Chain A
Amino acid sequence: MERMPRRNRGAEFRMTSIAKGGRRRSRLLLNYRQNRLLYWMLLPSVIYVLIFNYLPMAGLAMAFQDYSLTRGIFGSKWVGLKNFRDFFTGIYFTRTLSNTLILSLLDLLICFPAPIVLALMLNEVQALRYKKVIQTVSYIPHFISMVVAAGLIKEFTNSTGVIANLVTALGGTPKSYISLPQYFRSIFTVSQVWQTIGFNSIIFLAALSGIDQELYDAARIDGASRPQQLWHVTLPGIASTIIIMLILRCGAIMNVNFEKVLLLYSPSTYETADVISTYVYRIGIVKQKIGYSTAVGLFNSVVSLALVLTANKLSRTYTDSSMF
């Protein structure tokens, strides 16, 4: 009962403010008066995001400074693009960039399709009990902490681990694979498949279950074989999900699973294992070269942003799906 007159007052208020020209602000003010509590409920998260997400973005200014912790961002000397020049001309640029890209491309080629294949395989299983068990079991590696997973990977690939035992049994000489640079990428990628295949298949399984069964019936009546059904019904049915996941994945190309690299690498494998983000960690947090490491990190973030925007645009141009 009380609300009606208040609304009318609002309309009047709006009319006069249009005349004054401050339309947007007064509409906002009016909206605030009517939904005070909503605005207050939002406040904590907005403050949080401002401090912990946007303040660091402002801190990116350090990338253009010879930053000193004691003098702070306002007292430190501005050096223009010196930090970037140092990075691009130094020996670490090519090494960390190529390591990042290679690990990412391996991930894109092997770890990305693996859960799709698993979902398709599970989709064919007719014994529902069996399907359920395999699904449940396949999630386990996702829930094991990175520290434990890395510990297991180290144990299995050292000179007395499972892999070494297998090699011995086949007549080879066992080595400590995890400490040799030529094996790092394979170990990283294979273990990544193990960690992600089950959990990442959930979304594709859900998409598969959303395909209209009548499409299969129609295809069968038209004489389509099983592989033809897969190609013409199943894959188009989950294509939009695949594309969205692919866009997300492309945006993360510069963000190799850096916590895992950090746990698995050692100076002896830096040659193939050191990626941009681990390099940023070493020089920034360990060696405290703040300005320089911020510049390297900024380079990484900008390339990431460009990649995700490009992937999204491409997808919007060539298909119907896009993220935003």
Chain B
Amino acid sequence: MKSGNKIRDGASRRIFLAVNAFLLGVIGFCCLAPMWHVFCCSISNPGELARSGGFHLIPIAPFSFDGYRAVFGYRNILTGYLNTIFYVVFGVALNLLLTVPCAYVLSRKRFLPANAVMMFMVFTMLFSGGLIPTYLVFVKLGLIDTRLSILLCTAFSTFNMVILRTGFLAVPDALEESARLDGANDLQILVRIILPLSKASVAVITLFVAVGIWNSWFTSAIYLLDRGKWPIQLFLREVLINNSQKSLEAGVKASAESLATLVKYAITIVATLPILCIYPFVQRHFVKGVMIGSVKG
């Protein structure tokens, strides 16, 4: 009786595992397929692609790299790309420069008003002035249509600060004590002791901030007027969402409509690829980065 039960259990378990694996496969496919489709379209034959439409998991032969050639020929796209790189590099640097010291100070028990300052910071996660008053602060400070406005938008994140602080708290006090006895000041303790021991959380925060800036479009849309300062996402929006060819006009005037379709896909790949290349490497730290954030501060 008992062994019979066990065998039935085994069979149903095997069926369950197979169904489970299959469903996971379907989910995986759904996550991968759309970008794969974009990639396949981007190297397809432009004429055929414009005619067929629909979904492609195999590129339409004969392959064509005209899309990519065209993308790099367009002034706007190149400008957007360089602007985005500028915003990411300086934005991340500024963000770390503000967030890391703040997290460090608030993780020190010697710092008397730590709790008060923490409440002051965390309150901004619960309540905010909202879109319009924030926009007006930028207007009144004369930041509209400046590159600085984009850097300032992402210069500090309370949420990341809380995550980092939790990470810093995990570093044993004894290390700090001995460094202080050796005459190290706080800046030295932060750079030589705390940061090297919190590499994982710093790496994850850096990646999240960088991806956030790379992918952001809304703040640039409201703060930037001059197309010369636009990040790539705004040009993408013009091509993908508003279906306008304006971004592409400056390039080849005589470009056929079929080439425009191809360019649409190529531009998407060019704008997304850097991120898709980086994230798998930092992936193993995600769990840590996300987990420590959830621990009560």
Contacts and interface: CB of A to CB of B under 8 A. Distances in A.
B133 A152 contact: no
A202 B290 contact: yes
Contacts of B54: 160-162, 165
Given A56-B137, A137-B31, A205-B287, A143 B211 contact: yes
A277 B103 CA distance: 31
A143 B218 contact: no
B98, B128, B187, B190, most chain A CB atoms within 10 A: B128
Contacts of A91: none
Contacts of A177: none
B130 A56 contact: yes
Contacts of B34: 141, 152, 156
B59 interface: no
Contacts of B276: 140, 143
A285 B55 CA distance: 37
Q: Give the interface SS of chain A, mostly helix, strand, loop or mixed.
A: helix
A281 B134 CA distance: 12
A241 B291 CA distance: 10
A244 interface: yes
Contacts of A324: 122, 296-297
A226 interface: yes
Contact of B28 (A137, A162, A297): A137
Given A34-B110, A49-B124, A263-B237, A301 B20 contact: no
A137 to B, nearest CB: 5
Contacts of B156: 45, 48-49, 52
A45 B99 CA distance: 7
Given A45-B99, A284-B135, A144 B272 contact: yes
B97 interface: yes
Contacts of B98: 44-45, 48
A176 interface: no
Interface in B15-60: 16-17, 20-21, 23-25, 27-28, 30-32, 34-35, 38, 53-55
Nearest to A285: B222
A144 B34 CA distance: 11
A194 B31 contact: yes
Contacts of A41: 101-102, 104-105, 186-187, 190
